Structure 1
Amino acid sequence: MDIFHISNQQATKCSEAPLGLPAEGFLWIDTTREEIADHIETWRDEIERISGVAIYDLHLTDIMNLTHSSYFDSTNDYEMVVFRKLRMPTTTGDATNNQAQTETDATPPTLRKLVTQPVIFIVMDRIVITVHAENSSIIRTARTKLLEYRDRGNSSSRHGRLPTSPQEWMLRLLNTMVDQYLDLRQPLTTQIDRWQRALLNPRRPFNDWIALLDARIALRKLDHLCEEQHDALQELRDHIIDTYRAGEDGRDKDLLLVRANDVIEHIGRVLGNARRLESSLESAVQMHFSAMSHRTSEIMRTLTVITALFMPLTLITGIFGMNFEVMPLLKDKIGFWLIMGAMAAIVVGSLAYFRRKHYLEK
C-alpha cells in the first residue's frame, strides 16, 4: 500500500502512513489486490485509522470480486466506483498464457485484448483509495507523472496542474482507462474490414467461421461492458449534482461535471464504435450468404438452360432408338440429316427464345 499526498503545489509519496487527514490537499492510497488478499481486515483497520471511516463488509467483498461488473454505490461516508478496465499483458507469465491461448483459440490477437479486470475507487473526505491488479500500467504511469510534477513545479503550464480533489483524480484515472478502449478502434476496424473482404471473395471460400463467431461474442461483450460503465458513470454524475450544497464553490462542481461528462462521452464513443463494428460484421455475413445464394442461383439457371436444350434432343433420340421395323425416315437416305437438322433448329430456336427472355444474360 502506497500513500501519496497531493496538494496544489506538489505530490509527494509518504514514507509512513499518516495519523489523519492532511491540513491541505488530499491523500491517494494506492493498493494492489494481491497485497490485501490475505489480510483484508487489517487493511480495512488501517484505512479506518487514517480516515476515520470503516468500509462496509459488502464493499470488501466487492473489492475482492474479480468478476464484478462496473457499478456505482454511495454511503453517508464515502462513494465507491467499480470500473472494468482492459488488462494489458505486462509480465512474462501473461505473455506465456497469451501464447498458450493463441495455440488453442482462433480469435485474432486484436480481439484477445478485450480482457478486463475491475479497478475499485473509494472516495472519502480528502481521500481517494484505488484497488487494482498488480502491474497496472495506467496506475504506474499516473504515479510517475505525479512525482515528476513535484520536480518540475509550476515552471511550465503546458504540463497541466495537479488535481484539487479526490473526485477529480478519480475521473482523470477513469478517463485514461476509457481511452484504452478508444485505442482499439483502428485495429478492430482493420480486422473487420479484412473479414469483409474475405467473406465477399468469390475465388476463395471463407472457412474462418470460428474466429468470426468469437469476434461477434467479443463485440457483444464490449457492448454490454460499455453499457455498464455508462450507467455507473451516469450515477456518479447524478450523485455529484445531488450532493452539491449551497455555499460550496460552484466552479469545483462544474469542473467535476465537465470531467464526468467527458468520461461518459468517451464511453459513448466506445459503445457506438462497438455497435457499428458489430453491425458491419452482421452486414458482411448477410452479404456473404446473399452472394452465395446468387452464385447458387446462377449455377441452377445454367443447369436449367442446359437441361431445357437437351430435353427435346433426348426425346427425339429416344423415339428413333426404338426397335421398330417400320418408322418414318428410318430407312431414308437423308433421314439422318433431316433429324440432325431438326435437332439443330430446335437448339437454335431454344437459344433465341432464352435470349429474348433474358435467361442467358449475366
Structure 2
Amino acid sequence: MQSYYFFQHPTASHIYVQDQAQREQQADQEPEFIWIDCTREDVVNRPEAWQNEIFQQCQLRVNEYHLRDILNLEHPCAFDTLDDYDLLIFRKMITPDDQIVAGEQALEKHERVFGLATTPISFMLTPQVLITIREKGNKAIESYLQRIETLISRPIDEQNKPRKLATTPLDLALRLLNNMVDGYLDLRVPLTRRVEFWQQELLQGHRRFTKWHQLLQENMAFQQVENLCEEQIETLQELRDEIVDNYPHLKGKKRSEKQDIMLVRVDDLTSHIERIQKHTTRLRSAVQAAIDLHFSAVANQTNENMRILAIITAIFAPLTLLTGIYGMNFEFIPGLKSPTGFWLMLAIMLITTILLLYYFYRRHLVGRGEKSVIDMLAQQHGDQHMNLFWFMDYEPIKQTVKGTVKGTVKTMKEIEKLTKIK
C-alpha cells in the first residue's frame, strides 16, 4: 500500500503531488485529495487489517459486501453507490505488457476462457479519497505510478509543466481508466495479423485444413472480447449517470471542476471501447467470411471432381455397351469370324470416344468449367440474335395498336375543333 497526496499550490493555480514522507514534513497543510494504491496481496491475506488501515488513514469504512466483491477475482464489471463512497469494478484484459504472476506461483488463479484472461481493478471514490485495488504487475497503473514518482522528485513549481495533474479523485480515476483502455488499441494490429493467418490457412489449396478446434477457440475469444467491451460500456454508462445526477457529491463542494469535462472524458473512454468492440466484430466477420469461402471452395472442388467423373462415365458407357454386346456367348455373332472384326470394333470405339469428347467440348463440359456455367445461364440456341420487337408481329397486338393510333388521331382532331370554337 502506498499513498500520494495532491495539494493546491499556494501561489499558482495548479496541483502538485507528494508522497508519505514529504507529507509528514508539512503536516499543517490540508491536501486536496489522497490516492491510496493497494495490491490484492494487501487485501486478500488480511482483509480486516486492511479495513482498519484504510479507516485510520482516510476515515472511510468499507462495506462488507463491497469487500467481498473486491476479493472476488472473477467479479464482473460493476458500479455501485453508497452515501460514503462509490465503488467501480472494471475488468482489464491481461495483455503481454502486463507482468501479472500466473501459474502455480500466482496468489490466485485466473480463469482463462478460450485463451484470454482478465483481472479486476476496483476504484473507491469519495470527494477526498481515491482507493485503487489492483494486482501487482498491472502495466497501466504501474506506468502511471512511475510518472507520479518522477514528478515527486521535481520541485513543486515544475510538476505541472509537462502535463496537468488530476484535480479530483474522479479525474484521477478516469485517467487511470484511459491508460488501460488505450492499451487495448494496441491489440488491434496483432489481432488483425492473427486473422490474416487464419484466412491464409483456410484459403490455401495445397493441403487439407485440420485446425478447426483452434479456429473455434479463436472465434470464441473474439466473442469474449466483445462481451467484455459490452460490460465495460454499461459500467461507464452507470458512472456517467452518477456524474449527471450527483456530480457535487463526487467532486466536493470546494472544487470548481466543470461537469462537462468529466462527461467528455467518460464519453471518450466509451468511444475507445466501442472502437475495440467494432474492430473485434469486423475480425469475427472476416473469419466467418473466410470459413464460408473455404467451404465454398471445397464444394466447388467436389462439384468439379464429380463433373470429371461424370464425363468419364459418359465416355466409357458406349464402350462398355459395345464390349458387353460382343462378349455375349452366342454361337453366331456378325463379324465374329472376320479377321478384321477386332480392328473394326476398335475403330468404332475410338470414333465414338472422339465424337463424345467433341460434343462435350462444344457444350463446354470439357476444359474450363466456368464457360459451361455461362452457357447454361445464357441458354444458347441456334439463333443468338433476338428481335426485341417480336411481339409487334402478334396479330391481336397489331389490331390493338392500330385501333389506339386511330383513336388518338380522332381525339386530336376533336381537340383542334374545340380550340377553334373557343
After superposition, the CA RMSD in angstroms is 2.9
Q: Deviations over 1:205-240 (max 9, x none)?
A: 222222211111211111111100110011111111
Note closer, same or farther for the CA distance 1:87–1:16 as it changes in structure 2 (3 Å cut): farther
Q: 1:39 to 1:251 in 2, by over 3 A?
A: closer
Return the offset for 1:339.
Answer: 1.8
After TM superposition, list the pairs within 5 Å mapping 1:12-161 onto structure 2.
12-15=18-21, 23-88=30-95, 94=102, 112=115, 114-150=116-152, 151=154, 153=156, 155=158, 159-161=162-164
Structure 2 unpaired stretches of 5+: 8-13, 107-111, 370-422
Query: Which residue does the alignment assign to 2:405?
Result: none
Matches within 5 A, 1:217-232: 217-232=220-235
Matched, 1:337 2:337: no
Amino acid at match of 2:294: H
After superposition, the C-alpha distances for 1:250-275 in whole angstroms (9 at most, x for unaligned) are 75211111111111011101111111
Residues in 1 aligned to 2:60 and 2:301: alpha-carbon distance in whole angstroms: 70
TM-score (norm 1): 0.88
Q: Does 1:266 align with 2:272?
A: yes
Other structure's SS at 2:18 match: strand
Distance 1:328 1:141, change over 3 A: same
Mapped partners of 1:241, 1:22: distance in 2: 32
- Relative to structure 1, the CA distance from residue 125 to residue 92 in structure 2 (aligned partners, 3 Å threshold; closer, same or farther) is closer
Say if 1:97 and 1:156 are closer, same or farther in 2 by CA, change over 3 A.
closer
Alignment of 1:208-219 (within 5 A): 208-219=211-222
Give the structure 1 partner of residue 414 of structure 2: none
1:128–1:166 CA contact under 8 A, matched in 2: yes
For the pair 1:6 / 2:12, whether they are aligned, the reply is no
Equivalenced residues, count: 350
Shift of 1:357: 2.4
What is the DSSP-based 3-state SS (H/G/I as helix, E as strand, rest coil) of the residue aligned with 1:255?
helix
Which digits, 9 at most, give the CA deviation of each residue in 1:155-195, with x for residues without a partner?
A: 48762110001011101111111122211110110011011
Q: Is the 8 A contact 1:240 1:253 kept in 2?
A: yes
Deviations 1:87-124 (A, max 9, x none): 256669648989xxxxxx9x9xxx85x32100000101
Return the match for 1:320 from 316, 320, 326.
326
Deviates more, 1:85-94 or 1:123-132: 85-94
Question: How high is the sequence identity, in percent, across the aligned residues?
Answer: 36
Higher relative contact order (CA 8 A, sep 6+): 1
Three-state SS of the structure 2 residue aligned to 1:260 is helix
> In 2, are the aligned partners of 1:21 and 1:27 still within 8 Å (CA)?
no
CA contact (8 A) 2:37 2:133 kept: yes
Q: Which residue of 2 aligns with 1:289?
A: 295
Asked whether the 8 Å contact 1:178–1:263 carries over to 2, the reply is yes
SS in 1 for 2:258: helix
Query: 2: CA distance between counterparts of 1:158 and 1:347?
Result: 90
The 3 A distance-change label for structure 1 pair 97 and 63 is closer
> Tell me, which stretches of 5 or more residues in structure 1 are unaligned?
99-104
Q: Which secondary structure does the structure 2 equivalent of 1:328 belong to? A: coil
SS of 1:244's partner is helix
- Displacement of 1:133 in angstroms is 0.8
- Equivalent-residue separation in structure 2 for 1:54 and 1:222 (angstroms): 35
TM-score normalised by structure 2 residue count: 0.76
Q: 1:96 to 1:306 in 2, by over 3 A?
A: farther
